[in-house]
Amino acid sequence: MTIETGHLKLTYEDYRLIPDDGKRHELIEGEHVMSPSPNIKHQRIAGRLFAALYNFLQQHPLGEVFNAPCDVVLSDFDVVQPDLIFVAHAQRSIITDANIRGVPTLLVEILSEGNRKLDETIKRHRYAHYGVPEYWIIDPELDLVKIYRFTADRYGQATILTREAQDILSTPLLPDLSVPLVTLFK
């Protein structure tokens, strides 16, 4: 992960001029952040979780799920590409042809080598700043999921689920969703 620092904050218009080089480019408070492409383990987990959410939403039409790369424009200075994005039907007006403009219902980041600080600290603070209702951090190295739920004006203590405990990933945002971590991390 590299963060370009400077005195001038970049905007979404500047961001759109960054050439597509196969890497993940984001803006965090106007600073350009670049991460290399994720590894295969990351991609397998992302695929399994996307499939589980997509299939669930086919049976329970509560909204839409999107996978990276998909720009989430939280502001002119905060543009992120989470691994998975869920937008509830009540918020569908934030979905445009080009991107998601506004605060999604749920954002999911899967940790990769070199992005732990970005996802666990920097992005978590930005997502809390914008009031993202739920944020999941999936750690493929430790086979665990941290779930942050927005209450009042911040994220509360993370709920931690592990493969070892044979926990099931679920959320009140998607009643009846049930994703066994043994399946997610197989």
The reply to whether 164 falls in a domain is yes
At 147, which CATH number? 3.90.1570.10
pTM, rounded to two decimals: 0.92
Total domain count, the chain: 1
Query: What whole-number distance in Å separates Cα of residue 53 and Cα of residue 65?
Result: 7
- Predicted pLDDT of residue 39: 87
Domain residues for the domain of 48 are 40-184
In the predicted model, what is the mean pLDDT of residues 116-120?
Answer: 89
H helices of the chain, where? 12-15, 40-59, 116-117, 124-130, 181-184
The reply to whether 11 falls in a domain is no
The reply to whether 10 falls in a domain is no
The reply to whether 138 falls in a domain is yes
The reply to whether 111 falls in a domain is yes
The model's pLDDT over 135-183, given as tens digits with 9 standing for 90+, comes to 999 999 999 999 999 998 899 999 999 999 999 999 999 999 999 999 9
Give the three-class secondary structure for 151: strand
Give the three-class secondary structure for 124: helix
- Predicted pLDDT of residue 178: 96
Q: Collect all residues with Cβ–Cβ distance below 8 Å to 135 and sequence separation of at least 6.
A: 106, 107, 108, 109, 124, 127, 128, 147, 148, 150, 155
The reply to whether 32 falls in a domain is no
The reply to whether 35 falls in a domain is no
The model's pLDDT over 45-101, given as tens digits with 9 standing for 90+, comes to 999 999 999 999 999 999 999 999 999 999 999 999 999 999 999 999 999 999 999
The reply to whether 17 falls in a domain is no
